[in-house]
Amino acid sequence: MIKQAIIPLAGLGTRLLPLTSVFAKELLPINGKPGIEYILDECIDAGVTEIIFIISKKKEIIKKYFYNDNFYKSIIKKKKDPRIINEYKKILKYKKKIKFVYQNKPLGTGDAVLKTKKFIKNRYFLMLLPDDLIMKKNCSKDMIKLHKKYKASVMASMTVKKNNVNRWGIYSISKKIDKKNFIISDVIEKPNTREAPSNNAVIGRYILSKDIFKILKKQKKGKGGEIHITDSIRTMINNKFLFVGHKFSGKYLDCGSMDGYIKSTLEIAKL
């Protein structure tokens, strides 16, 4: 059963400067709703009951967004506005499910995952990267179904332009299961065009097993001096852990870059 999800939120968001100089990118509105709420809705709709936010001291504004009770209570007392009451109820629903852990140094996604070790209860858990929005189809839900069928780790995948492979983790595929799913034989973090074994990229949805923590503890820094989850996943695959890739069918929106963020608002408005 996948009941817990983790969301790394300690990144600095430099690709979205100046918007992120005083604000968390995950709270930026996309068609009137903070990006993080789309991610939370995906988790909850997929049956997740506890969501662990990995934040940093610099990103405490995210915690404040969910813990601003006194403010809401005083406004509601004065105004009794049904819209505000409704919005506050929504925030309270999210808050009940969220736990916070801290990653104060931005050492990479692998390091962020390691911070959740103590809190993970079941063997498998879900991770969502908040820069990647997937609309129209619940990718996490589909991945959980696959996980149940194959008793394996699962990662989301999308084909990208060949000259763009150095922006992503890139898969080697050992066997196609069907049109949408495949067995992963290797994964490389941000390879150059010559190194890249394919143009199938890792998108930010992962079902991982607790076994990854042992490997993460020993994980050396990789590309850009960061501890990458991709590098530990690579070790797990080499150690014969089964990883299934899932080509999701929803609409992908990249909210982590300025260009992508602007497009996301326009695209979601059209849905």
Which chain residues interact with ligand G1P by CB under 6 A? 109, 129, 131-132, 168-169, 189, 201-204, 228, 230, 256
Q: Which residue is nearest to ligand G1P (CB)?
A: 169
Residue 258 beta carbon to ligand G1P: minimum distance, rounded to whole angstroms? 14
Q: Which residue has the tokens 């065009």?
A: 193
266 class by beta-carbon count within 10 Å (0-12 exposed, 13-18 middle, 19+ buried): exposed
Judged by beta carbon, residue 125 or residue 168, the one nearer ligand G1P is 168
Closest C-alpha among 53, 12, 59, 26 to residue 226: 12
Residue 41 beta carbon to ligand G1P: minimum distance, rounded to whole angstroms? 19
Residue 233 beta carbon to ligand G1P: minimum distance, rounded to whole angstroms? 9
How far apart, in whole angstroms, are the C-alpha atoms of residue 21 and residue 111?
Answer: 23
Judged by beta carbon, residue 62 or residue 203, the one nearer ligand G1P is 203
How far apart, in whole angstroms, are the C-alpha atoms of residue 90 and residue 18?
Answer: 29
Judged by beta carbon, residue 34 or residue 204, the one nearer ligand G1P is 204
How far apart, in whole angstroms, are the C-alpha atoms of residue 102 and residue 10?
Answer: 8
Judged by beta carbon, residue 169 or residue 245, the one nearer ligand G1P is 169
Residue 132 beta carbon to ligand G1P: minimum distance, rounded to whole angstroms? 5
101 φ/ψ angles, rounded to the nearest 5 degrees:
-125, 160
The two structure tokens encoding residue 128 = 């969502």
How far apart, in whole angstroms, are the C-alpha atoms of residue 247 and residue 191?
Answer: 20
Residue 80 beta carbon to ligand G1P: minimum distance, rounded to whole angstroms? 43
Judged by beta carbon, residue 88 or residue 207, the one nearer ligand G1P is 207
